[in-house]
């Protein structure tokens, strides 16, 4: 599955939207190709027409003129069921129905498509697993009984319910705190590695665009395309002043959002051990390595707590000592996320693998070395160009 995108190409040809009563069009003559199986981000100033452009793809807004195709088929030819099968839609604040349970919310589109009950139930469980919500715990809850991040996960699951080739996401992570937002972004990237949908994603946040986008379209007034390219190309070479303004100061720091933890040399030689290790052995291992801190792991090697050697002098078991670790970072996390986690932790941030297991730690030196290296490369490429 991984080598074949399940997504379909989207084409916009000379698309214009003129709202009745407005003197100017909100979107004027936009043409672009969104490649199958890729994430394309629409960014641009407030009111430039991002949402209008996106909503014309699923015909929540009808274009005044121009043509939009998905997989070569004109969307105007789709009836309601075809639109629901082909296009999933996720929005800010998740937009869940407050009087429906989580399962009912996720099952809305399959219900409209008249799937039988068993198929809907199985699909709901499958999707909840996919977005990291335990069906047994969350199936029957109402949206108000969920955190913001959990609501967004349900929103994404609902958008994916009928397995559409195209997913439209309008600031889906706009309303959650930065750490949750980072986690949701990581999860979307992990999902996309398997699903390979065509995703059109609207955001205000250029860092989010750089992190998630295979390509970014920077839009100006009336959705005019200022630059449409990979994040690397836009950061390295903004096409005009408007794009440069959007990219903002500190472009080399922004490159931290392009690098993943798995790309840098994080450390895996701290003292880490199961929480049922005898205290004497723990002390021994820390002394042998000359370390004052050790990481305690649960039965599945997931990180639990940091323990300081001082705490071991009077302890009889590791189960009662140490302080909880902060938010771990994953191998998919960006160096920007890692930097935030390191600052929040005040030291090493723990790196975990796909099942939450300990794989290493990352510290501030790794991040500053990487920034230094990016700067050197940048200076070298500037002097080569001049
Ligand atoms: N239903 C409508 N009727 C008339 N004008 C509208 C309507 N919806 C949007 N507009 C106007 O169209 C323009 C583009 O709006 P749109 O919501 O697409 O922009 P946006 O880039 O998504 O903005 P934001 O980032 O603030 O959400 C704005 O000037 C807006 O006022």
Residue pLDDT, tens place only, 4-54: 667 899 999 999 999 999 999 999 999 999 999 999 999 988 889 999 999
For ligand 1, say whether the CB of 149 is within 6 Å of any of its atoms.
no
> Is-contact 164 8, C-beta < 8 A?
no
Mutate to test the pocket of ligand 1, among 19, 41, 64 (most ligand atoms within 8 A of CB): 19
What mean pLDDT comes out for the span 56-82? 90
Name the residue with higher pLDDT: 122 or 95. 122
pLDDT for res 140: 95
- What one-character-per-residue DSSP string does 206-255 give? HHHHHHH-SEEEEE-GGG-EEEEE-HHHHHH--SSHHHHHHH-S-HHHHG
* For range 116-140, the mean pLDDT: 91
- pLDDT recorded at residue 9: 94
Q: How confident is the model at residue 343 (pLDDT cuts 50, 70, 90)?
A: confident
Q: 262-369 — its CATH code? A: 3.10.580.10
Range of lowest pLDDT (65-69, 94-98, 224-228) = 94-98
Task: Note the pTM of the prediction, 2 decimals.
Answer: 0.72
Q: Find the mean pLDDT for residues 124-150.
A: 90
Span from the CA of 82 to the centroid of ligand 1 (angstroms): 26
Residue 379's pLDDT band, with cuts at 50, 70 and 90, is low
- Mean pLDDT over 236-261 rounds to 78
Position with higher pLDDT, 248 vs 58: 58
Which residue in 103, 212, 94, 210 sits closest to 149, CA to CA? 94
Atom of ligand 1 nearest to the CA of 202: 22
Q: What distance in angstroms lies between residue 242's CA and the mean position of ligand 1's atoms?
A: 20
CA–centroid distance, residue 149 to ligand 1 (Å): 26
Q: How far is CA 268 from CA 144, 265, 327, 361, in A?
A: 41, 9, 18, 6
Closest C-alpha among 291, 288, 287 to residue 306 = 291
**Per-residue confidence at 227, pLDDT binned at 50, 70, 90?**
very high
10-248, superfamily in CATH? P-loop containing nucleotide triphosphate hydrolases (3.40.50.300)
Q: Smallest Cα–Cα separation from 2: which of 260, 213, 191?
A: 191
Which residue lies with its CA nearest to atom 18 of ligand 1? 49
Quick one: pLDDT at residue 354?
84
Residue 386 has pLDDT above 60, yes or no: no
Label residue 372 by pLDDT band (50, 70, 90): confident
From the CB of 49, is ligand 1 less than 6 Å away?
A: yes
Distance 44 CA to ligand 1 centre (A): 12
Q: How far apart are CA 366 and CA 351, in angstroms?
A: 13
29 CA from centroid of ligand 1 (Å): 16
Quote the pLDDT of residue 1: 41
Which protein residue has the closest C-alpha to ligand 1 atom 14?
A: 49
23 lines ligand 1 (CB under 6 A): no
CA of 15 to the centre of ligand 1 (A): 15
- Name the residue ranges covered by the structural domains of the chain: 10-248, 262-369
Question: Is 52's C-beta closer than 6 angstroms to any atom of ligand 1?
Answer: yes
Q: What was the pLDDT predicted at 2?
A: 44
More confidently predicted of 168 and 132: 168
CB of 51 within 6 A of ligand 1: the answer is yes
Which string of DSSP letters, residue by residue, matches 337-374? Answer: HHHHHHHHHTSPEEEE-TTS-EEEEE-HHHHHHHHHHH
Same fold, 10-248 and 262-369: no
Ligand 1: atom nearest CA of 54 is 18
For residue 272, pLDDT beyond 80: yes
Residue 68 alpha carbon to ligand 1 centre in Å: 19
What mean pLDDT do residues 185-198 have? 88
Distance CA 352, CA 146 (A): 25
């Amino acid at each position: 599955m991984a080598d074949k995108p399940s997504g379909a190409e989207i084409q916009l040809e000379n698309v214009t939207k003129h709202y009745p009563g407005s003197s100017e069009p909100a979107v004027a003559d936009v043409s672009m190709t969104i490649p199958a199986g890729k994430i394309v981000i629409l960014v641009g100033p407030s009111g430039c027409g991002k949402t209008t452009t996106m909503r014309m793809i699923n015909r929540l807004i009808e274009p005044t003129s121009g043509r939009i195709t998905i997989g070569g088929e004109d969307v105007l030819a789709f009836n309601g069921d075809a639109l629901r099968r082909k296009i999933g839609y996720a929005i800010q604040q998740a937009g869940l129905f407050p009087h429906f349970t989580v399962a009912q919310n996720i099952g809305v589109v399959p219900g409209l498509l008249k799937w039988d009950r068993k198929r809907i139930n199985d699909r709901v469980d499958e999707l909840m697993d996919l977005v990291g919500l335990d069906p047994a715990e969350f199936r029957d809850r109402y949206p108000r009984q969920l955190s913001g991040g959990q609501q967004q996960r349900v929103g994404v699951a609902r958008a994916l319910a009928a397995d559409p080739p195209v997913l439209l996401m309008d600031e889906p992570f706009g309303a959650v705190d930065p750490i949750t937002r980072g986690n949701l972004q990581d999860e979307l990237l992990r999902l996309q590695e398997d699903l390979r949908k065509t995703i059109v994603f609207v955001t205000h946040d250029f860092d989010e665009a750089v992190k998630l986008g295979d390509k970014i379209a920077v839009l100006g007034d009336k959705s005019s395309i200022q630059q449409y390219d990979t994040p690397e190309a836009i950061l390295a070479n903004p096409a005009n002043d408007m794009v440069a303004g959007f990219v903002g100061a500190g472009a080399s720091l922004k490159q931290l959002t392009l690098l993943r933890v798995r790309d840098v040399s994080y450390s895996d030689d701290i003292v880490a051990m199961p929480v049922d290790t005898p205290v004497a052995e723990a002390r021994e291992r820390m002394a042998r390595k000359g370390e004052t801190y050790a990481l305690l792991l649960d039965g599945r090697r997931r990180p639990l707590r940091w323990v300081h050697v001082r705490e071991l002098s009077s302890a009889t078991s590791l189960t009662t000592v140490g302080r909880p670790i902060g938010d771990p970072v994953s191998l998919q996390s960006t160096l920007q996320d890692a930097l935030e986690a390191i600052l929040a932790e005040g030291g090493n941030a723990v790196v975990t693998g796909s099942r939450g297991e300990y794989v290493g730690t990352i510290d501030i030196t790794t991040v500053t070395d990487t920034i230094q290296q990016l700067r050197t490369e940048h200076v070298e490429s500037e002097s080569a160009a001049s």
